[in-house]
Amino acid sequence: MTSNFSLEGKVAFITGSTRGMGWATARTLTRFGATVILNGINSQDLLEQRKEELKKEFNVECDGFLFDVGDMDAAQNCYNQIFKKHKKLDILVNNAGTLDDNLVGMIRKEDIRHTFSTNVNGVIYNLQFAARLMSRNKSGSIINISSLVGRVGNEGQVVYGGSKAAVIGITLSAARELASKNIRVNAIAPGFINTDFVKPLPPAIFQQRLNSVKMGRIGEPEEVANAVLFLASDLSSYITGQVLGVDGGMIM
């Protein structure tokens, strides 16, 4: 571990952190010294399991909050609890996301409502509450997880792509607003990553997506987590308002 990558003494909250990229990020930030706070939505048992896994692997205690990031009141209560216990927040990773999509002409109202509630409203709610805590110390890093689809689009993903494009717009606007408070806001746009989102893909679609990756392989959640680590650490102290692609060269 290098000193520049060290997150010792920093408190990090990661939404959607019981599986996939969020869980990989939780393990990575904990490994580099951060006090990590987890978030899940559906299973208290899984949340408790993840807390125990971090305790066993890294000999640390961590908190966890079960709530829907698209519920503003629940999010506010979470940040009240974070302040009550830790008195600060240094890092927010807006990772929680969902994918409810269909072809144009078949998109349901519920698809739009649910996707935007989680992927857009949830990002704004958490960013706002985190910024309030970070402003107290005039320091912080907010990392929003967007998607390659939010940058270049994809057939059948109008709703998801729209929500992830919104995350980029949120990131750029918040970065401008919060820079004077020394709060950095950046986004990561993962490409084809080995998460639960890709498991339902038919083999032909999977191979088609894989063929578009210039590096010739699917990405792993830990590779996204490493990018989060960089943006959370002091190595990126002069970087804000950026969108970092982690896509193996899909859009070169």
Residues belonging to the active site: 160
Contact 241, 176 (CB under 8 A): yes
List % helix, strand, coil for the chain (3-state, nearest 5). Answer: 50, 15, 35
Q: For tokens 């390659």, what's the residue?
A: 148
What are the tokens at 170? 């949120």
Q: Packing angle between helix 158-178 and helix 109-116, nearest 10 degrees?
A: 30
Round to whole Å and give the CA distance between 122 and 36.
Answer: 19
Contact 38, 65 (CB under 8 A): yes
